[in-house]
Homo-oligomer: A and B are copies of this chain.
Amino acid sequence: MSKQKSKTTAEARKDKVEKLLNELGHRVYDDLESSKFPSLSFASRSVSNIVYDKKLQQFVLGSGTVKRSAGNIKHIRPFTQLLWLAYFSRKLVDEKKTSTLRDVYYSAQAFDVEFMDQAESDELITDLEVLLGSAREEFNVYPEERSAIFGNMTIEYTVPGYEGKKLDLSAHPDGMMIGPAMTTAEFADTDAEMVLAIEKGGLFTRFIEEKVHEKYKAILINTAGQPPRATRYLLRRLHSEMKLPIGILCDADPWGAHIAMVIKSGSANAAHLRDLTTPSGVWLGVWASDIQKYKLPSDPLTEIDIKRVYELKSDPRYKEKLWHDELDTFLKNKRKSEQEAFSRYGLSYIVDTYLPDKIQLLKSN
């Protein structure tokens, strides 16, 4: 599969965020030129304003708004911080440099812009996301965590110094890190027929050793627990641009189930963002019901696990039959199991026996 378009995804993304930042600047200048105190309004992120959108299959922000005005003495601090952040982001995008949440906090000090602590600057970064309707990764602010990818696919870089260079994602059998360069790369060519997102590094390596990428023509992604947003964005792109179905494999516990759910439909604290979800992603397991079906070694659910199951039950996204039933099975049997539990039947059992069942499910979805 290959694709053609005039602009790369990264170029389109850069153009979009530059335009948004420019508009933001012009709004402020326009206010000043017409002798008004500049002000900015954007959707409120308070819990009462986070609602579930059935059509989008994710949480979104409601109609409540907040306003930051230079005319209000209480607003001057966050208003200034926000404008500085927009300025700094514009510089990052222009210079094609990436930064981290932590970096932003310290960079502010170079401009005598004060943040009490990183929590405050993180908060403002989220405000800017809401204001622009763009994830911070789009204005080049990345988190620390990285997950990894492996498979039969060639990508083409768009980052400085690597423009046009290609990489075969099967070249390194420990996996390639998913960072700024991977996230903004073009997908050049692949014979893959699916993507498998895997919660744990050990199983990711096992799958590579057992040649799952060849046997099932699968691109493998190690989410390393709850996947960073860059990885969720990459999963969405693999689905939307390459038309690949996305299967998700996690531990059989409420935390694992929620990793699959977040890949499918995001998290409440990203309710202000789009393009980070893959609603058609399929939770392949390990299900609560798989523990019995495959006679897996298991451990009792802890009090915290059980509390978590009840929390998930109150989440509108878990009303769907499969999810609802599996949560009930957790509560009924009060057992959890890990992906590694399949090793009870030998190291290749999970690939030879469990995976074919689940891949059939992915293909029929």
Interface residues of A (CB under 8 A from B): 97-100, 102-107, 109-110, 142, 144-146, 148, 157, 159-162, 165, 167, 171-182, 200-202, 205-206, 209, 211, 297, 338, 340-347
- In the complex the two chains form, what is the Cα distance from A206 to B96 in whole Å? 11
A100 touches B177 (CB 8 A): no
* Number of chain copies forming the complex: 2
A340, B101: Cα distance in complex, Å:
10
Q: Which 7 A-B pairs have the closest CB atoms?
A: A174-B179, A100-B202, A106-B343, A174-B177, A173-B181, A102-B340, A109-B344
Further 15 A-B residue pairs, CB within 8 A, beyond A103-B343, A107-B347, A110-B345: A98-B205, A98-B206, A99-B202, A103-B202, A105-B340, A106-B297, A106-B341, A107-B344, A109-B344, A144-B202, A145-B201, A146-B174, A146-B201, A159-B173, A174-B179
CB of B172 within 8 A of CB of A99, answer no
Write out the residue numbers on chain B whose beta carbons fall within 8 Å of the beta carbon of A345: 110
Given contacts A107-B344, A107-B347, A159-B173, contact A180 B167 (CB under 8 A): no
Contacts of A148 in B (CB 8 A): 146, 177
Task: Report how far A209 CA is from B161 CA in the complex, Å.
Answer: 9
Q: Is the CB of A106 within 8 A of B144?
A: no
A176 with B173: CB separation less than 8 A: no
Closest chain B CB from A220 CB (angstroms): 12
Give, as a whole number of angstroms, the nearest-CB distance from A122 to chain B.
Answer: 13
In the docked arrangement, what's the CA distance between A167 and B174, Å?
A: 12
Q: Is the CB of A107 within 8 A of B343?
A: yes
CB distance from A71 to the nearest CB of B (A): 31
